[in-house]
Amino acid sequence: MDLNTFLYPHASYWGNGQPNAIVFNANLQEFSQRVGYISALYQGGKLTSLEAYRQIDQLWQALERSRQNLEIDA
């Protein structure tokens, strides 16, 4: 297992198989992983609660833009 696979694992997609849904699923997995890292940095005292919130908010906005651009229904 290489370092990239270890740090950024991806689960298989079990949805409808449309390309836009597959891309959104990958974006959602990346969002989840990055939120986990931010949470760990906050818990470890490396980020303030405000900085953690700002970073997660930015990630959420990017995920929302991705959903809108890919025309995924909420």
Three-state SS string over 41-58 comes to HHHCCCCCHHHHHHHHHH
Question: pLDDT: is 7 or 69 the higher one?
Answer: 69
- Does 7 score more than 70 pLDDT? yes
Question: Over pLDDT 70: what percentage of the chain?
Answer: 99
Distance CA 56, CA 36 (A): 10
Structural domain spans, the chain: 19-69
Q: What is the three-class DSSP state of 14?
A: coil
Q: Which residues contact 31 (CB under 8 A, 6 or more apart)?
A: 59, 60, 62, 63
* Range with the poorest average pLDDT among 18-22, 49-53, 60-64: 18-22
Residues 44-73, mean pLDDT to the nearest whole number: 96
Residue 40 is predicted with a pLDDT of 97
pLDDT classification of 15: cutoffs 50, 70, 90: confident
